[in-house]
Structures are given as structure tokens and as C-alpha cells.
């Protein structure tokens, strides 16, 4: 059965999963406000503004730019039903090799930009007493054991944690929240042009260098995840009343999540006695 038409606000929509999501939504008759750093990257693919599509040139690191985009969407379509925080980039570098600017810039895009979108979109959803927030994290935002990816992992863990808290906060208002944990997806995400690398001291750490080489030389272009199918999964999750809070995407993501759950359970069991002994006796 065809879904009722809804209005989606999607960041990072000019390429990768975001672009696929916009394409599928438009094909199915939904309305889409899509953001990118340049409007031309959107209009080249989807055409100009219409009654179903609104291309928005947005600097996600600017609160004023984000606010203007959300307000224009509401003015254009009258409503926002689904918000998808999709924009982000990977940062590779050992913890002490990352400069303060590199770390903060990664968080600006991966965490604080989604926060800005939510800050300006949520008042509209609250007034409607309906809506769905979908934050695109990564499997590294749940299973973070990747040498040399601390900045990216931390930013995605932050986004995942935010989504959990948000879900509890807005449930009584009829608003849902979902965090998506994709495994490796076959896009340009790991290309040399998209991946930020702090190479200082990388060679001093064999695990970090091996991880970087794996992602750049072996994994890029051979990722298991299909961006088309991931876009359709996101749409499926948004279409059901019992939308998941945690949505893992792909076999690799499921396997890594299960492995972490088992490892945590083992730690809990091994340390249960010592852990509970830290409570007051009374």
C-alpha cells in the first residue's frame, strides 16, 4: 500500500545515501527539502524548486543558515514530518595526532550541525505533536573499536546517545526518534577527497596505519552496503508506527553489534560481584 505523502527535511542530500533517499522519496510522491553546501549540486540532479522539491544551500556549521533553511521549508511546504540528519564526514588520525581544530571541526559537522537542525525543527514538530527524527550514525557509533578513528567514532557515539535521550524526551508529544547504524556503504565516503586524514604520527601506530590502509586501499569501492537499499530501509522504518529506536543496516553492522553485546555481557558477568560491592551496604 502506498504511503501518504509527507514532507522530509534531509541534510547532506547531494550525494551518497542522502541523494538516493531524495530520489526514492520523490519517485513515491513525497515532498523533500534537501540541503547541500551548494544548491547547484542539488538542482543538477533533481531540478529546481517545485511543489514537491526544495533545494537549500546551507552551511550546517552556521546556526543562522540552518534556522533559515528550516523556516523556508515550513513556509514552502507548510509542514515538516520527517527530519533526516545525514550529513557528516570521516576523520582519521590517532588521538594525540589530531589538532584541536580538526577534532572540533569533525564534531561541528557530525554532531553540532544535527543539534542545530533539531533545535530549529523540533518547535514545529512539537506544535504538530507528530514527526520523526532520523539521525544517521554509523556502526562505529555503537561498536567503536577502530584504531585511529577516535574523532569520528566519538562524534557518532555522541549522535547515537543524543538520539536515545531525544526519543525519551519527545515520546509523549507523539514524536519518534531513530538512530541508524549503517555498516560500510558503497559511496564516495572513504574516497581521498571525502576522508580527512591527520597523518601526523600515523606510522608510529601499526594498528592505526593498518586501519587507514584497509579503508583507503581495500574497502573503498568494495563496501557491502547498497546505498539504494539503505535509503529504502530508512523509508520503511519511517513508515511504521513501531519505528525502531536502534536500526542497524547491513550484515556487517548486525554482526558487529551482536559481538559488542556479547563482549559487554561478558564484562558484566565477570565483574558483577566487584561492581555491586561499590554500593552502600544499607
CATH assignment at residue 231: 3.40.50.720
279 occurs within a structural domain? no
2 occurs within a structural domain? no
136 occurs within a structural domain? yes
Residue 196 binned pLDDT confidence (cut-offs 50, 70, 90): low
42 occurs within a structural domain? yes
Domain range for residue 182? 7-270
8 A C-beta contact, residue 173 and residue 147: no
Of residues 223, 224, 231, 235, the one with CA closest to residue 188: 223
Number of domains in the chain: 1
For 118-157, the DSSP string reads HHHHHHHHHHHT-EEEEEE--GGGT----TT-HHHHHHHH
DSSP character at residue 214: I
69 occurs within a structural domain? yes
pLDDT tens per residue, range 81-130 = 999 999 999 888 888 888 999 999 999 999 999 999 999 999 999 999 99
pLDDT tens per residue, range 176-189 = 999 999 987 755 65
Residue 130's CB is within 10 A of a number of other CB atoms, namely 13
Q: 3-state DSSP call for residue 8?
A: strand
Q: Which residue has the cell 568494495?
A: 222
Q: If you average pLDDT over every residue of the chain, what do you get?
A: 89
- Give residue 214's pLDDT: 47
- Residue 20 makes CB contacts below 8 A (sequence gap 6+) with 227, 228, 230, 231
49 occurs within a structural domain? yes
Residues labelled as active-site residues: 152
Torsional sign, CA 35, 39, 43, 49: positive
- CA 91 to chain CA mean position, Å: 15
* Range 8-25 average pLDDT: 95
Amino acid at each position: 500500500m502506498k504511503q501518504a505523502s509527507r514532507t522530509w527535511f534531509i541534510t547532506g542530500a547531494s550525494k551518497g545515501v542522502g541523494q538516493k533517499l531524495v530520489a526514492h522519496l520523490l519517485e513515491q510522491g513525497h515532498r523533500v527539502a534537501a540541503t547541500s553546501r551548494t544548491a547547484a549540486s542539488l538542482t543538477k540532479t533533481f531540478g529546481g524548486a517545485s511543489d514537491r522539491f526544495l533545494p537549500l544551500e546551507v552551511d550546517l556549521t552556521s546556526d543562522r543558515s540552518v534556522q533559515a533553511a528550516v523556516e523556508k521549508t515550513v513556509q514552502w511546504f507548510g509542514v515538516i514530518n520527517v527530519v533526516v540528519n545525514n550529513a557528516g564526514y570521516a576523520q582519521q588520525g590517532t588521538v594525540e595526532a589530531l589538532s584541536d581544530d580538526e577534532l572540533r571541526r569533525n564534531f561541528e559537522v557530525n554532531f553540532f550541525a544535527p543539534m542545530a537542525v533539531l533545535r530549529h525543527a523540533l518547535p514545529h514538530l512539537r506544535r504538530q505533536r507528530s514527526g520523526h527524527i532520523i539521525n544517521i550514525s554509523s556502526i562505529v557509533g555503537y561498536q567503536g573499536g577502530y584504531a585511529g578513528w577516535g574523532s569520528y567514532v566519538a562524534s557518532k557515539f555522541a549522535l547515537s546517545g543524543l538520539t536515545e535521550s531525544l526519543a525519551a524526551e519527545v515520546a509523549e508529544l507523539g514524536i519518534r526518534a531513530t538512530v541508524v547504524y549503517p555498516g560500510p556503504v558503497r559511496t564516495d565516503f572513504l574516497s581521498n577527497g571525502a576522508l580527512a586524514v591527520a597523518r601526523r604520527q600515523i606510522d608510529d601506530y601499526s594498528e592505526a596505519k593498518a586501519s587507514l590502509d584497509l579503508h583507503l586501499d581495500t574497502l573503498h569501492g568494495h563496501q557491502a552496503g547498497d546505498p539504494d537499499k539503505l535509503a529504502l530501509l530508512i523509508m520503511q522504518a519511517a513508515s511504521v508506527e513501531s519505528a525502531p529506536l536502534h536500526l542497524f543496516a547491513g550484515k556487517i553492522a548486525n554482526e558487529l553489534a551482536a559481538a559488542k553485546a556479547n563482549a559487554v555481557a561478558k564484562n558484566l558477568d565477570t565483574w558483577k560481584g566487584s561492581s555491586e560491592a561499590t554500593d552502600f551496604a544499607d
